[in-house]
Structure 1
Amino acid sequence: MFSQTVFWHSLLGALLLPPVLNLLPIVAGGMLIRRWQHVGRLLLAFGVALTYLLSIPQTAVWLAQGVERYPPIRPADLSAVDAIVVLGGGKRAGPEFGGNAPSGDTLARLRYAAYLARHSGKPVLATGGAPLGGEPEGAVMARALRDDYGIRARWVEDKSDTTLDNARLSAAMLKADGATRVALVSQGWHLARAVPFFQRQGLQVLPAPTGFIRYEGPAFRRYLPSGKAMEECYALLREYIGLLYYRMRPGA
């Protein structure tokens, strides 16, 4: 069933994030340039500059520095945890697989969770609901872990709509089995928001980041626009908005 909370979050994000974020000053500038030429030109220039900045790798790297707060871990670091929790990050239609498949972000998280599980022997909890309807992400994740990596999830949480829900519902499942110390797997930029949610549920959390924003090659390539950089800037700005939103809701 479609989540109203996710609907309003998506609507707010659409208004505050690219492409609307950088299109608004361009549209406003085009409307004002005949009557207020100077203001119109400034808005047009600002919109074009913002579009460029939000499409280059260097901006993604700058934005990532503020949210990628946790360093990589080693499988040996998991000796003190009871379980590995991997957060869902979306699903996609996978007709080539005969059903739904993990999105790119989810797949990166699953791969790392499987790597940690194989090297540590710790059980895995997959968490993700169906905020947009259809098959829950948790079920898609558990299937991918089993079929692609040979890892069977001990717990599957499939009722959550948000990261906050992930924490609440996963903590209840874990505590029922006496597990209170977890390694939390997600993109590095996502853990800045996710880790406190799980800690507030009374869990001891070892952040296990993956999918760091990194670029190789000559430095000048960081200033060339790319679709990948635009996608990363969008995700990073969304995280900043999410952090601000939950900071304004301290009881969440």
Structure 2
Amino acid sequence: MFFILKKIVGGLLMPLPLLLLLMAVALYLLTFTQRQKMGKVIFLLAWLFLALLSLQPVADRLLRPLENTYATYNGQRPIDYVVVLGGGYTYNAAWAPSSNLVNNSLPRVTEGIRIYLLNPGSKLIFTGAAAQSNPVSSAATAGKVAESLGVPAADIIILDQPKDTRQEAQQVALRIGHHPFALVTSANHLPRAMLFFQQEGLSPLPAPANQMAIDSPLNPWERLVPQSLYLSHSERAWYESLGRLWQALTGKQQSETPS
């Protein structure tokens, strides 16, 4: 119950639902009360923040510090395992396997496979429990994608019990002990994930994937026109900031927001 409540509250605190809620409050004040000035101010501020968070320069400026924390893995040292953290997914057996990995998950899996290929003899570990009412877990879905791309089933380990990053760290620690491994997750999530794994006494080699903040040149209109793509970048920065705050407040004893 607490996990579901945490998901609901966390979702409502994301920029889009939060700003829409503020706009609804403003419309209520404007329509049903005498607090016209307050309603106008709230609506204007909510609209302004929504517009700003949807602009590439603002969104990527918020996201870039998180994503630049760790450099891409390019064989800095040999490893025995590649741990790929679970993310968004669905499951439809009629689809191409990779179509079942949504948002951040597919880049994580492909980066994990790349690192696995750089380390002959290593094993791929996929983590992540099943979503509500889904018969197939996130970890198993990622494993099916890896197999479809040529990774032998014997080299794939599925850890499908963890529901969040802390539990993923605990399960990995139990499974591989102190063997050297690379930790693959989204670049913006990696700083928070590294801390959870370090709290379990592990020393993962950071391997960021799914970088989103754009550094390459863009057309002027791409920088000046609000877009849902860049709003999603702002949401990731906001999500991770909330997650790190929760991590600091709860410490090692409590479960944190899921990846």
**Fold shared, TM-score > 0.5 on shorter chain:** yes
Answering whether residue 8 of structure 2 is matched by residue 11 of structure 1, we say yes
**TM superposition shift of 1:119:** 1.6
Match runs of 1:138-177 below 5 Å: 138-152=139-153, 153-175=155-177
Name which of structure 1's ranges 210-219 and 195-204 shifts more when overlaid on structure 2. 210-219
Q: Which amino acid aligns with 1:146?
A: E
SS in 2 for 1:204: coil
1:235 and 1:52 mapped to 2: Cα distance?
Answer: 16
1:219 and 1:239 mapped to 2: Cα distance?
Answer: 29
**TM superposition shift of 1:104:** 3.2
**TM superposition shift of 1:249:** 0.8
**TM superposition shift of 1:174:** 1.0
Q: TM-score, normalised by structure 2?
A: 0.86
Answering whether residue 24 of structure 2 is matched by residue 27 of structure 1, we say yes
Match runs of 1:1-252 below 5 Å: 4-33=1-30, 35-79=34-78, 81-94=79-92, 95-97=94-96, 101-121=100-120, 122-134=122-134, 135-152=136-153, 153-175=155-177, 179-215=178-214, 216=216, 217-252=218-253
Q: Is this contact kept in 2: 1:91–1:101, CA < 8 A?
A: yes
2:84 and 2:20 mapped to 1: Cα distance?
Answer: 35
1:154 and 1:118 mapped to 2: Cα distance?
Answer: 13
**TM superposition shift of 1:116:** 0.9
SS in 2 for 1:234: helix
**TM superposition shift of 1:142:** 1.1
Which whole-Å deviations, capped at 9, do the CAs of 1:145-177 have from their partners, x for residues lacking one? 1112435444210001111111111211112xx
2:191 and 2:220 mapped to 1: Cα distance?
Answer: 27
Q: Is this contact kept in 1: 2:85–2:128, CA < 8 A?
A: yes
Q: TM-score, normalised by structure 1?
A: 0.88
Go from structure 1 to structure 2 and tell me whether the alpha carbon gap of 1:218 and 1:99 turns closer, same or farther (over 3 Å shift). Answer: closer
1:199 and 1:73 mapped to 2: Cα distance?
Answer: 19
Go from structure 1 to structure 2 and tell me whether the alpha carbon gap of 1:66 and 1:73 turns closer, same or farther (over 3 Å shift). Answer: closer
Q: Is this contact kept in 1: 2:199–2:252, CA < 8 A?
A: no
**TM superposition shift of 1:22:** 0.7
**TM superposition shift of 1:220:** 4.7
Name which of structure 1's ranges 100-109 and 7-16 shifts more when overlaid on structure 2. 100-109
1:164 and 1:85 mapped to 2: Cα distance?
Answer: 14
Go from structure 1 to structure 2 and tell me whether the alpha carbon gap of 1:149 and 1:57 turns closer, same or farther (over 3 Å shift). Answer: farther
Q: Is this contact kept in 1: 2:63–2:236, CA < 8 A?
A: no
1:240 and 1:212 mapped to 2: Cα distance?
Answer: 17
Q: Which has the higher strand share?
A: 1
Which whole-Å deviations, capped at 9, do the CAs of 1:11-31 have from their partners, x for residues lacking one? 111221132211122122222
CA RMSD of aligned residues (A): 2.1
2:27 and 2:205 mapped to 1: Cα distance?
Answer: 50
